[in-house]
Amino acid sequence: LKEKNMKLLFLMILLIDPSALLGKWTLTFAEANFNLVNSAAFKATPKAQQDEILEVNELYLNNAYYEFKKDTVYWADVNAREKEVVFKKGKWMIIGDTLRIFDYNKIYTYNYLIKLNGREDELQSRMIFPNGDVARSKETFEKDD
């Protein structure tokens, strides 16, 4: 029984080959952003506030990427308050189907449930919140050549 559990654990750890993530991945679709701008709540928001939300959304959609190197990851995020792109760096690892990113700037760990599609040139991720809940909305990234 113990040996069987060890084999299962080993298989789960190898669920996603980390080398498949190496390289640069550019955001192609952010479901949460799409749902937000198409929501009734957004449509009921004053025009000036809508414009601000759209500006921040646009910044994110046009700049978001992850670049995975050996054990370091580089990525772009958006500081919504300052309306500017922020370039970040951290350490990454894969455990089963979970991508863990350790943000060097914030001393914070981000967890994502990930799935590689097709010929491993499309990456889908859903954030795992600190309480363990998985986001309903996914982000889709395409591997750059």
What is the per-residue pLDDT for 10?
Answer: 52
Element of type H or E holding 52: helix 47-63
CA dihedral (143, 86, 107, 29) positive or negative: negative
Can you tell me the distance from the alpha carbon of 85 to that of 79, in angstroms, rounded to the nearest whole number?
6
What is the per-residue pLDDT for 117?
Answer: 81
Phi, psi of 76 (to 5 degrees): -115, 135
Kindly report the average pLDDT of the chain as a whole number.
90
| pLDDT band with cut points at 50, 70 and 90 for residue 5 | low
| Helix (H), strand (E), coil (C) string for 74-104 | EEEEEECCCCEEEEEEEEEEEECCEEEEEEC
The whole-number average pLDDT for the span 126-144 is 96
Is the Cβ–Cβ distance between 113 and 98 less than 8 Å? yes
The pairing of beta strand 139-143 with beta strand 98-103:
unpaired
Give strand pairing partners of 24.
Answer: 67
Amino acid at residue number 30: A
Residue 77's closest CA among 56, 54, 98?
56
| pLDDT band with cut points at 50, 70 and 90 for residue 4 | low
* pLDDT tens, residue by residue, 77-133: 999 999 999 999 999 999 889 999 999 988 899 999 999 887 779 999 999 999 999
What is the per-residue pLDDT for 91?
Answer: 97
**The whole model's pTM is what?**
0.84
